């Protein structure tokens, strides 16, 4: 199954009423709006499939430029769908401002790692190097299966930190502490990690000189 959506202003923008009407969900009006929009679309597809007695298994789901694209495999119906509003009970990801609940949206994985590693880019492909670099970024991101990414500037802003540390220092600090961390295709200054918000804030704060 391949689905492309170009109504990003609905899924990830200001058209809240249209999103409720078309997808039965509220867009998340924070820097996470694009990932939330992709997950709203995926939740909608999964819900439609469930009504037809089928499940879905996401293979490759991404947002780029002004569109979202989902590649998924139709499967036999499984257990309860990973679809919830955010923040949900037990949620430990990036803070969602009070009064800005989003969804329902897909809270499961966006990628199938095996599928990504089976994709090959022909040597003769147009823009081959760029496509291979994009694919490598998605493979890296797929190693950290957590809903929502962190944006370095937003983390620092929330903690009142004057200057963000370099990304390589952040990644080294997280890995030294035993956490997974990876770049994300949604934002060049973003990263995905399995560390909870409190740990993310503490590790990044610890990289800057005490004031």
Give pLDDT tens digits for 43-69. Answer: 999 999 999 999 999 999 999 989 999
> What CATH class does 149-211 carry?
alpha beta
Closest to 205 measured CA to CA, from 149, 158, 168, 172: 158
Has residue 210 got a pLDDT over 70? no
> How many Å apart are CA 21 and CA 110, to the nearest integer?
24
Write down the architecture of domain 2-115 according to CATH: 3-Layer(aba) Sandwich (3.40)
Q: Which long-range contacts (CB under 8 A, 24 or more apart) does 112-118 make?
A: 112/57, 112/58, 112/59, 112/60, 112/142, 113/139, 113/142, 113/143, 115/59, 115/60, 116/60, 116/142
- Kindly list the distances between the CA atom of residue 149 and the CA atoms of 20, 155, 191, in Å, as whole numbers in the listed order: 24, 11, 5
Supply the pTM of this predicted model.
0.95
pLDDT band, residue 142 (cuts 50/70/90):
very high
The model's pLDDT over 2-24, given as tens digits with 9 standing for 90+, comes to 999 999 999 998 899 999 999 99
Percentage of the chain beyond pLDDT 90 is 86
Q: What per-residue confidence (pLDDT) applies to 99? A: 77
> How many Å apart are CA 57 and CA 72, to the nearest integer?
5
Q: Where are the domains of the chain?
A: 2-115, 149-211
């Amino acid at each position: 199954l391949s689905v492309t959506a170009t109504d990003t202003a609905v899924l990830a923008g200001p058209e809240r009423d249209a999103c409720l009407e078309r997808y039965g969900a509220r867009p998340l009006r924070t820097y996470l709006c694009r990932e939330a929009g992709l997950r709203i679309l995926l939740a909608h597809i999964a819900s439609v499939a469930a009504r037809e007695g089928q499940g879905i298994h996401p293979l490759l789901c991404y947002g780029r430029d002004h569109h979202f694209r989902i590649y998924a495999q139709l499967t036999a119906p499984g257990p309860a769908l990973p679809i919830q509003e955010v923040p949900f009970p037990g949620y430990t990801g990036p803070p969602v401002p009070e009064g800005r609940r989003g969804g329902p949206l897909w809270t499961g994985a966006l990628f199938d790692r095996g599928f990504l590693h089976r994709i090959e880019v022909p040597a003769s492909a147009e823009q081959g190097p760029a496509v291979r670099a994009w694919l490598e970024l998605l493979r890296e991101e797929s190693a950290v299966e957590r809903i929502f990414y962190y944006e370095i500037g937003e983390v620092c802003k929330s903690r009142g930190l004057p200057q963000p540390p370099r990304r390589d220092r952040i990644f080294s600090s997280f890995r030294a502490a035993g956490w997974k961390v990876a770049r994300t295709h949604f934002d060049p200054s973003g990263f995905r990690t399995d560390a909870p918000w409190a740990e993310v804030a503490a590790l990044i704060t610890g990289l800057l000189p005490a004031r």
